[in-house]
Structure 1
Amino acid sequence: MKLVTVLMLTALPLYCYAGLGCNLFSDVVDMTIDPDLNATEYINNIQEYLPGEETENAFTFLKECFLHQSRETLEKIQNLQQTIFSSFWCAQY
């Protein structure tokens, strides 16, 4: 789980640098981290961005991994996300 989290959050500056929509990506990451949003609601919110069932299953698995984390861990992930979005590379977008 921690490896998935690190890899996902490491990719954030690349998305921001490419200008692919940091706001949209930020919203999806916020929903992923949100412990009050269950997996079904999460998938319903991002359904339009999921090209197929395999991708939907992967995002469901990812959300369930976050749901099994403590609030302290989720707060640290949110802090990391904010640090990345405030970085030089994302600040341009």
Structure 2
Amino acid sequence: MKLVTILMLTALPLYCYAGIGFDILDDVVNMTIDPDVDVTEYISNMQEFSPGKETEKAFTFMKECFLPQSKETLEKVQELQQAIYSSFWCVRY
């Protein structure tokens, strides 16, 4: 779980720096860590980014990693997300 989170959040500065799709990425990250969004709803919202069954399985795995986490852990992920957004690379965007 921690490795998946780190890999996902490590990619954020690259998207920020590129300035492309940052709002979309922000929505996807927020939807991924939101405990009120179930897997079915998450997959239906991610349908436009899913070219096939393998990607859908990866999205399902990603969402299922966050579902059993405590509220405190999810808050820490959001804090990390905000720290990345406030970083040197993202502050311009």
Deviations 1:53-93 (A, max 9, x none): 10111011100010011111000000100110111211222
Q: Structure 1: any 5+ residue segments left out of the alignment?
A: none
Length-normalised TM-score, structure 2 = 0.95
Query: Deviations along 1:1-59, whole A, 9 cap, x unmatched?
Result: 10110111011001111122111100000000000100100111111111111011101
Aligned residues: 93
Partner of 1:55: 55
Runs of 4+ in structure 1 deviating by more than 2 angstroms, as ranges, are none
2:37 is the counterpart of 1:6: no
Q: Using the alignment, how far apart are the partners of 1:86 and 1:26 within structure 2?
A: 13
> Equivalent residue for 2:73?
73
Q: Aligned equivalents of 1:52 and 1:19: distance in 2?
A: 26
Which structure features the higher share of helix residues?
Answer: 1
The runs of 5 or more residues in structure 2 that have no matched partner are none
TM-score between both structures, scaled by the size of structure 1: 0.95
Percent pairwise identity = 72
Verify: 1:84 aligned to 2:72, yes or no: no
